[in-house]
Amino acid sequence: MRALIGAIVVLGFAGFATAEEKKDGKIDAKKLVGKWEPADEKAPVTIEFTDKGKLILSIDVGGKSEKIEGTYKLDGDKLEMVMSFGGKEMKETVTISKLTDEEMVGKDSKGKEEKFKKLKAK
């Protein structure tokens, strides 16, 4: 179970390539705040960014929901995320190419591009 959750966390990070219409390499950080899920909806993962630099990765596995908390920092078009899980710290930097009110696209440190869609507030 721990290996499965770890794999999903890595997938969540690897798949978290975000995008935004950039102006001078800067991203509007206000558009990042909220809950996001993969646009292809393959993985039961959501990532929430708060306005205070906190992030919450939620994973549904076998009917159970796991939450992993971390922090993020947006510097220009670079989104730096840090999370602790199972006693290990994980870091990932994503280069955002597009970020709108509804869509996020970017590349992780390995060059993999992913798209996310913003969940509507309930």
| Euclidean distance between the first and the last CA atom of the chain, given in angstroms as a whole number | 31
Number of separate domains in the chain: 1
Angle at 98 between CA 103 and CA 33, to 5 degrees: 55
Provide the CATH number for the domain around residue 96: 2.40.128.280
Two structure tokens written together for 10? 């890595």
- What one-character-per-residue DSSP string does 32-51 give? H-EEEEETT--S-EEEEE-T
Using DSSP bridges, classify how beta strands 34-38 and 54-61 pair: parallel, antiparallel or unpaired: unpaired
Predicted confidence band at 7 (pLDDT cuts at 50, 70, 90)? very low
**pLDDT tier for residue 2 given thresholds of 50, 70 and 90:** very low
Domain limits at 11?
2-118
pLDDT per position as a tens digit, 38-84: 998 777 899 999 999 999 999 988 888 899 999 999 999 999 999 98
Instruction: Dump pLDDT digits (tens) for 88-104.
Output: 999 999 999 999 999 99
- pTM of the predicted model over 0.85: no
Quick one: pLDDT band at residue 17, thresholds 50, 70, 90? very low
Q: Are 114 and 37 in contact (CB under 8 A)?
A: no
